[in-house]
Structure 1
């Protein structure tokens, strides 16, 4: 489907369910059509290094994989895959029209329970975090073990691109952090060289697993029992990671929301339940993973800022870039101190 067809689909849904307003939002890979109680997620017909959604059958398979994977963490949210016919309506039992696309059908969750919004309102408590820790630990403990090293070739390739990236390029409001990254790279290379047995132990002890791959706060809903949505289905590379990598992503996001205390509490309770291979080395690797994820977010916002210099969103992206730049500096300082 194309964008104008998605708009027609949303209009038709509004007519069918007698809703005056059916909203449409979008991500890089999907259009999201929102009714009062349901969500229809339609893949865009695009192709990149991670996926190829140019054919209808490929989009159908991706929808099916998304539902199957996400039902592990949110079984009552992901309701199935529905065909969309050429009248731009969901297929029903008496409809003989041609199927033109597919959508993931989801139950609509309350915006007020989305973790990033609750963080913005300062409503997230230690009790919320403890429930989330238990939920994540249960998922990680039962996830499939993957026979890969914690720092594999894909990770090394991305890391090299990140440390060579000129953060703050052409953006006067942001201090350049590239020099700091050279020190971080040297420190981590020394750590890796001196702890080869530790990295082998993490692999042998099954610490690399098939995980969520996208554990940001906006994919978490803090009901009495937490719900985690939007698990990555299109790339094994992004979700076959060390468990500390995924925990670090969430904690970095908490840090970015200004909640270092909750971040530290999550990590303390997480490692208490998941155990350690070598606590000192685990702590070092955990902070390095936080640095890695902060760098990825900094690069993303740097690109958006440079691409939108004449638009209103520019200062929003610069503000985000500054947040991640400060995190990068603090993580590198911690690693530098811990290595001496």
Structure 2
């Protein structure tokens, strides 16, 4: 993304603007701790309790800020869009004027504007999630709050109109090829061509999935630049800012492409457990498990985009090789991550098994984070059926519908290469049989995590859960009694698939098991 040179006369006014904005007298309020932060497209002036973001008068291959009118329009669009997620941060657009006699710069002054700025509330840089991640201050509660926020935002975001090609295969291919061209031109690494080739292969294979995502209303007006450096904690609430306002094509995207940026960024930061906590919470909140089909591709695309930005930075620093080395090394890591995301295939299915209150969901959540697995919970999916009351959700037909949904979700996940956790009681032999048959059909292995507790412990846990009302499970003591009376214990052959209770890692054990043979669990060739 090489910058195009502007007419020479623009350099002098820009220098005057920068010098003036760094004077406390330019502001009508106290401007203590006056600083300037420079980005690829903007100058951000930190002045007292406020920040002022001014566009650079640049013309790039993807944006044109060379005119005053264009910069004003973009400032206004930035405020409009960012107020969706950060209304308290974005205070409005203010003019910047210059005294004709003295040349002094005034922010929000009188007279003819020479430029415009987005006025924001200033926040502490150490509260940005990237800084918290680097310092080890990012925790599970941050991921939960962030996943809920993003899922709710996506649920209400405007949907792409039928006449636009946003999210369609041709549009996705253009974005890929634009990025690939820059990476190939700037990189001397064989890894670049390898990553691009893999993405092209997956783009071809996923064309029907992209079309389906558009048909099912998942192409929406998203944030577009949702990474750790663009989210700050304000009063313990994650607050995304600095959305991608200047490009419709890069903002009207698949909601999973939006989420994939954060998922990729956490992986790139070495925070694998938090990455899977985020994506599992997002999927649980949104119900968009169909997005698993495109998640590896979109996360790999995000890694390629970041590699391009880093390579551009290294190219600009070629005159200082010692400074160019760091972004070039990081770009190589991003290209490696892009390939890893597309090549992962340790797909398998782990069935949680046990009575209500036996600790299944707690262990499933721990395994999902520790080993990078996708979990789907019957307690959550049962409630999506929207029965009038909890009792109706436990009728035989409702239970059957829930297990069928779990199976459908597991199929999407394993086809995308993910190890899946089906978190349900699996007390009925025919429900376990269903998953063994399907696993054999899909060519993946099955493990069983058998969770056991004595009846008094089960009752105590259920009572405590009902008092707090914080758990998705609606199983009460009557449900527990019914489970105890009707449960069908694991058979001898099924027990051959049980993971040892004290195992710290289950994926190696599940993956090493023999592919499930339906004959060995007494199901013959019956269909599920």
TM-score in same-fold range (> 0.5): yes
Q: 1:121 aligns with which of 109, 132, 135?
A: 135
Distance 1:191 1:61 in 2: 37
Following superposition, the deviation at residue 149 of structure 1 comes to 5.4
Structure 1 residues 194-251: Cα deviation after superposition (integer angstroms, max 9, x where no partner): xx2x433321221000011111111101232211111122111110000000000111
Structure 2 SS opposite 1:227: strand
Corresponding residue of 1:61: 73
Taking the TM superposition and a 5 Å limit, the aligned residue runs for 1:54-133 are 54-87=66-99, 88-92=105-109, 95=110, 97-133=111-147
**Contact kept? 1:167, 1:176, Cα under 8 Å:** no
How far has the Cα of 1:90 moved from its partner?
1.9
Q: Return 5+ residue gaps in structure 1 as ranges.
A: none
Q: State the TM-score, normalized to the length of structure 2.
A: 0.58
For residue 184 of structure 2, the aligned residue among 124, 142, 166 is: 166
1:142-291 matched pairs, under 5 angstroms: 142-147=156-161, 148=165, 150-163=167-180, 165-166=183-184, 169-170=187-188, 176-192=191-207, 196=208, 198-223=209-234, 224-276=236-288, 278=290, 282-291=291-300
Give the drift of 1:17.
5.0
Query: Does structure 2 conserve the Cα–Cα contact (< 8 Å) formed by 1:23 and 1:34?
Result: yes
Alignment length, in residue pairs? 327
Residue 222 of structure 1 aligns to a residue in which SS?
strand
**How far did residue 276 of structure 1 move?**
2.8
Q: Does 2:337 match 1:327? A: yes
- Counterpart CA distance in 1 for 2:55 and 2:267 is 31
Which ranges of structure 2 fall in alignment gaps of 5 or more residues?
Answer: 1-12, 100-104, 348-414, 418-528
- Whole-angstrom CA distance in 1 between matches of 2:83 and 2:30: 29
Distance between the aligned counterparts of 2:287 and 2:259, measured in 1? 13
What's the counterpart of residue 7 of structure 2? none
1:293-304 maps to which residues of 2 (within 5 A)? 293-304=302-313
Distance in structure 2 (CA, Å) of the matches to 1:82 and 1:114: 25
Q: CA deviation at 1:263?
A: 0.9
Highest relative contact order (Cα 8 Å, sep 6+), 1 or 2?
Answer: 1
Greater Rg by CA: 2
Hey, what does 2:301 align to over in structure 1? 292
137, 154, 158: which is aligned to 1:140? 154
TM-score between the two structures when normalised by the length of structure 1: 0.87
Aligned equivalent of 1:308: 317
Aligned-pair CA distance for 1:189: 1.6
* Equivalent-residue separation in structure 1 for 2:271 and 2:330 (angstroms): 15
Task: Give me the CA root mean square deviation.
Answer: 2.5
1:339 to 1:126, Cα distance in 2 relative to 1, 3 A: closer
1:166 counterpart SS class: helix
Whether the 8 Å CA contact 1:23–1:35 is kept in 2: the answer is yes
Aligned partners of 2:86, 2:337: CA distance in 1, in Å?
31
1:110-166 per-residue CA deviation (whole Å, 9 max, x = no partner) reads: 112100000000111111100011111111111000134534433202323445643
